Structure 1
């Protein structure tokens, strides 16, 4: 098969690679759409922690074209989404249903070959049927489940006011879930006016560009001087990870979904906000719960199918498999404003 193979830092080669017949508990998925995650660009530009050469891509959907003898849950021809995470099911976290915290998990696209290829062999327990769902939308189920994992566990209340820092793909998906959860008013915060316009179209009542107006003063003016009930950090910026603490009201909650990939050093005032306001801080990792893969995945599929979640509007770029390097170069060098970028190894 053909694949986009990572050989070294930001060096991807489109080449022929071998793929085995699937094992008795596996299926072979013909990849129809695969998303580039923000973490992919980071891993591509820093020291790769896993074996090279490697095939990246952990957000993908496709068609089952082969199945092992022991597989009974799906059929050849089924449309499916891949669950990239494989829990060990032996550690204490797995035994308590906290699969996202598994200490010895597998992961497609890093520890084993992922979706930037024509085909992927994957355990049959790691695919879910999508029925007639569009493959491009289905490739976004993984980030949608990540967003829902954060929203579910920050426990928003009907009528809350929330601030969402960073309105890239995860931020926009968080905004949609917050609206579904009954949050009364959402303030989108980003340094891109274009991204803020997208947030408005997704139902955000207010937007703030901190480069153009004072963030804290503006949030306080929108919330009767109290601050928001919830802050959700989706930018993965050490700046916004501090700002969350400044705009959240007393007894409020702060949720961290973004990863800064650098030291986060808090100023005295920001750090004191944690205990003077008695804030609750929570971090959210991955998207899995019991029974595996969890309600995050099941509800994501349901809400896409009933039209409650908008995904197509978030896709800004589509590339052929042989153009994978070009796609990463565009994102890394920020040659264009982008939303969700997809690789399409096998066009319908």
Structure 2
């Protein structure tokens, strides 16, 4: 098969690779769409800790072209989404059904070959049927599940005012789920005016660009000096990770979905707010619950099919598999403003 193979820091080669036959419990998926996650770019240039050469890509969909001898409940030609997380199913957290916290998980696209390739092998327990769902929509199920995992577990109440920091792919998906959850008002915060305009289009009542306005003052103006009920950090920036603590009301909630890629140093005021305001801080990792992979995944599929949540609308760029290196260069060097970048390994 053809694959985009990572050999070292931001060095990807488009080449022929051997792909083994399916193991008895696996299926082989012909990859029709695979998204580049923000974590892919960071892991590749900062903290790649897995074996090289590697094939990245963990947000993907396609259809089954081969199945192992023990696979009986999957059909050849079935349209599926891949679930990249491989829980051990033996540790304390797996036995509790807290799969996102598994101590010994595997991961398609980092610990094993992923979907920036024409085909990928995956356990039959790690696919879900998508019916007639568009392949690009289906490749967005994983990031949507990440967003929903955060929203479900921060437990917004009807009437809440929520600040969403960072309105890239995850932030935009979070906004949609918050609207479905019944919050009263969402304040989108980003340094890109274009992304803020997009947030308004999907229902954000207010937006703030902190490069142009005083963030804390503006939040106080919008909330009658109270602060927001919930602040959700979706940018993975040490700046916004602190700002969440400055704009949340007393006994409010702060949820962290963005990954910290550098040390976070808090100002005295931000740290004092945690205890003086009795804030509740929660972190959200991955997107899995019981029964595996969880309602984060099943709800995304059901709501997307019903037209209640938009997925592929947030795809800004599409690249052929042979152009994967170009796609990463564009993102890492920020040559263009982008949202979700999709690799298309095979044409329909």
Alignment TM class, shorter chain as reference? over 0.9
Distance 2:38 2:259 in 1: 10
> Contact conserved, 1:220 with 1:226, CA < 8 A, in 2?
yes
**Stretches of 4+ aligned residues off by more than 4 angstroms:** none
| Residue 6 of structure 2 is aligned to residue 6 of structure 1 | yes
Residue in 2 that maps onto 1:148: 148
Shift of 1:82: 0.2
RMSD: 0.6
Secondary structure at the aligned position of 2:163 is classed as strand
Contact 2:140–2:312 at 8 Å: present in 1 too?
Answer: no
Deviations 1:130-151 (A, max 9, x none): 0000000100000000000000
- Indicate the residue corresponding to 1:122 in structure 2: 122
Matched, 1:98 2:129: no
Question: Does residue 255 in structure 1 map to residue 255 in structure 2?
Answer: yes
The answer for unaligned runs of 5 or more in structure 1 is none
Partner in structure 2 of residue 20 of structure 1: 20
Q: Which runs of 5+ in 2 are unaligned?
A: none
1: distance between equivalents of 2:307 and 2:234?
24
**Cross-structure match for 1:280:** 280
Partner of 2:168: 168
Shift of 1:73: 2.0
Q: Is the 8 A contact 2:234 2:257 kept in 1?
A: yes
1:56 and 2:89 aligned: no
Residue 243 (structure 1) aligns with? 243
SS in structure 2 opposite 1:317? strand
2:113 paired with 1:132: no
**CA–CA distance in 1 between the matches of 2:70 and 2:182?**
44
What is the distance in 2 between the residues matched to 1:218 and 1:47? Answer: 36
Q: Is the 8 A contact 2:83 2:142 kept in 1?
A: yes
1:328 is matched with: 328
Deviations 1:285-310 (A, max 9, x none): 00000111011011011111000111
Inter-partner Cα distance in structure 2 for 1:73 and 1:123: 12
CA contact (8 A) 1:9 1:47 kept: no
Is the 2:162–2:186 Cα contact (8 Å) retained in structure 1? yes
Q: Following the alignment from structure 1 to structure 2, what is the Cα–Cα distance between the partners of residues 226 and 213?
A: 18
Deviations along 1:136-194, whole A, 9 cap, x unmatched? Answer: 01000000000000000000000100000000000000000000000110000000101
Q: Distance in 2 between matches of 1:63 and 1:295?
A: 22
Q: Does the Cα contact within 8 Å between 1:59 and 1:84 map onto a contact in 2?
A: yes
Q: Deviation of residue 347 (structure 1)? A: 1.0
2:113 aligned partner: 113
Work out the CA distance in 1 between the residues paired with 2:75 and 2:238.
46
TM-score after normalising by structure 1: 0.99
